[in-house]
Chain A
Amino acid sequence: MISLDTAELNPFKATRDSFGEELHRLGAIHPKIVVLDADLSVSTKSVLFAKAFPDRFFQMGIAEANMVSTASGLASTGLVPFICSFGCFLAGRYETIRISIGYARANVKIIGTHAGLGIGEDGYSQMGLEDLNVLRALPGMILIQPSDDVTTRAAVRFAAEHVGPVYLRLTRQKLPALYSDQSIFQMGRGIIIREGEDIALIGTGSTVAEIIKASTLLKPRNPWIIDMPTIKPIDRALVKGLAHTCRWIVTVEDHQITGGLGSAVCEVLAEEKGRARVLRIGVQDTYGESGSPEALYEKYGLSAIRICQKVKELN
């Protein structure tokens, strides 16, 4: 667990890099793992596996639908396929994932990198901003968005061992190192970074560092700080507990406010007794654009300072 007073919140490593390194490590001890990419292996970091295990790496070219269904066939022969591309291009093959992986209960691991506004200059068409929204509807699909190097490695290990489809949402940009022990990650469990009083800040992936920074600016209000790596299944018990304790739950995500973390939290609250109201911070039903990641987080309200401003308005 991080000590907030000494937390070094400087950028350390992109979760796509942690993924690539961990997959490469697992490749040596897990002979059933095969990896497919659609001409983005240098960007998704599956290239590390490809170089080390060329017989178990399948370059599928720029044809994501074919990659999705081919992985389903590979899985049915007992292999454990990881398919890698940008999250937007994978989620864009929703119907193919729906039938070939979801309905087929295929043991395929879907690795969507380049999550959200955080990719920066390439602009909206390359940003995964609705991926959680569409994939969350599929029964049995586990959605995980780790926030640092250590939890990403744990999530990759979980994906390799779990039998069934998993979606991992990873960042292009570097994130700070938050944790030291992989056991901090448990699928389906939120991580309480700090207990607080009547406001809870819940982040996921890249926004966890932002809420930690925001919390230091909000010291008098002493907010709870929660990292929610698993979007589906959401940690119902934790959200329910916060709903009783807090007056406000603030969700912060680099994703549309529809269908991701904020929606999942609201769904729990709608069905449970509690006094908390919810503020969803995220991309507010609009398309993204080009810019530096920092400028985009500022403009779209995901930076620590903008989060802080929003929280101060709550009463």
Chain B
Amino acid sequence: MPSPAASLETAKRLQSISLECRIDIISMLQQAGSGHPGGSLSVIDILVTLFFHEMRMDPKDPHWSDRDRFVLSKGHGVPALYAVLSRKEAIPKGELSSLRQINSRLQGHPDRVLLPWVEASTGSLGQGLSIAQGIALGLKTQKNSARVYCVIGDGESQEGQIWETALSAPKYDLHNLVVFLDHNNGQIDGHVDQVMDIRPIADKWRAFRWAVWEIDGHDISQIISALEEAKGQTDSPCMIIAKTIKGKGVSFMENDVKWHGATPSKEEAERAISEIGERMKVV
């Protein structure tokens, strides 16, 4: 176990990368003029912790067979993934401004054919988790110890296919599959508990025989601890339910579902970026 001081240092380092990525997300969405800021901002702390702390990867080689895999099942949050990949220098920073433009690798939803770092083409909700399961099963069958990480949404949890995978992953003892639920309680038509309530969500996953953690998805120390504990699992697949805030880090976006699929104007983006900049000084 790392010392408390070292852990604090790690958390601070990741927090600061998260803030930088939040700025990238806001700028890229403002330039693109369309896209999904709310769910990109709610998931970014999880992605930063995965890509800068947890996952085994070589930013120069997307095809390395022993790399850990990441599947963004809630594909609309892809600006967060592009931001992280650019900070990892897996894609050039200048490319971020091509988001959603013609001939870009940075499609509005992830495309595995155009961008090799994308492990699954998602955006049609419910499928990415099954694909992540297939990758985990394929690695296990071939005795490859790489791990598979996946993020699903809470709105996405209304899809029937999510529960088909909930049923099948424990059957195949996929302890190499670690799934985050980005539980921000927002979807296009309103709050998740009003549109189609998924509660009690942790009980449901436990009933499906998954190992379940409930954490604050913006507390990097909690994310790290859950990931560490997940490594101790030898049979069950892992579900980390991360309570998050849609639009986290930009005061006027937080918990307002209108920012699910609306992008900031130039002025709003400037306000958001200066707000995030203030936070960076504190970290």
Contact = CB atoms under 8 A, between A and B. Distances in A.
B120 A66 contact: no
Interface in B98-138: 111-113, 119-124, 126-128, 130-138
B130 A78 contact: no
B56 to A, nearest CB: 15
Q: Chain B: interface secondary structure?
A: helix
A73 B131 contact: yes
A54 B134 CA distance: 17
B139 interface: yes
Contact of B161 (A58, A61, A66): A66
Contacts, number: 105
B92 interface: no
Contacts of B127: 65, 69, 96, 99-100
A98 B142 CA distance: 27
B134 A76 contact: yes
Interface in B154-180: 160-161, 164-165, 167-168, 172
A65 B161 contact: yes
A105 interface: yes
Contacts of B135: 73-74, 76-77
Given A73-B131, A95-B124, A104 B113 contact: yes
Interface in A79-96: 79, 81, 95-96
Interface residues of A, number: 30
A231 interface: no
B121 A77 contact: no
A261 interface: no
Contact-size category for B: 20 to 34
A258 B159 CA distance: 31
Contacts of A74: 134-135, 137-138, 141
B144 interface: yes
Contact of A70 (B112, B119, B122, B134): B134
With most chain A CB atoms within 10 A of its CB, the pick from B119, B132, B142 is B142
Interface string B179-211: 000000000000000000000000000000000
A95 B131 CA distance: 14
A73 B144 contact: no
A79 B165 CA distance: 20
Contacts of B136: 73
Contacts of B119: 76
B129 to A, nearest CB: 8
A204 interface: no
Interface string A25-45: 000000000100000000000
14 contacts: A34-B141, A55-B141, A60-B168, A61-B167, A65-B161, A66-B168, A70-B131, A73-B130, A76-B120, A77-B134, A79-B138, A96-B161, A99-B124, A104-B121
Interface of A: 34, 55-56, 58, 60-61, 63, 65-66, 68-79, 81, 95-96, 98-100, 103-105
A-B pairs with the 6 shortest C-beta distances? Answer: A73-B134, A77-B138, A69-B130, A66-B164, A70-B134, A63-B164
Interface of B: 111-113, 119-124, 126-128, 130-139, 141-142, 144, 160-161, 164-165, 167-168, 172
